[in-house]
Amino acid sequence: MEYKEIFSDSLDFPTNIMHVEDEELPSVTKELSVTLRLNVQSHSTGWQNIFHKGVNNYARTPSIWIWPNTAKLHPRFTTNDCHDCGIDEISIELELNKWYHIGYTLSEPLKRMDFYLNGK
């Protein structure tokens, strides 16, 4: 199992946007897990990208976005048949200025994506 810690200190977006070159990241083959803590401080009129691996917005394995004008999460991934698969909208809108623990897993053998918000 390969493990890669991208950053350990907090980042303040958009001030501290972090860009990691694709070749620096482990390739996604059979399974993937991503965990992070997130504190949304304000709504945006456009899509907010929390993270995504890919050279453009259509390469989304993995990715999490926030819907415009809300704090609802939009976890996505890309397959050979679908460039924009995933959960359209998590039913819970995040409260502003509150920390959340997010877990995101993909499994090709199980053909599933799991998304956890504060362990649930």
Q: Are 61 and 53 in contact (CB under 8 A)?
A: yes
Residue 10 has a pLDDT of: 65
Neighbours of 66 (CB within 10 A): 22
| Angstrom distance (rounded) from CA 48 to CA 115 | 18
Strand residues in the chain grouped as ranges (E): 31-39, 48-52, 63-66, 73-77, 85-86, 99-107, 112-117
Domains annotated on the chain, with CATH: 29-117 (2.60.120.200)
Residue 52 has a pLDDT of: 79
Residue 54 has a pLDDT of: 74
User: What is the residue-level pLDDT of the chain in tens, covering all 120 positions?
Assistant: 566 666 666 666 555 566 666 666 667 678 888 888 889 999 999 988 888 777 777 777 788 889 999 999 999 888 888 888 888 878 889 999 999 999 999 888 898 889 999 998
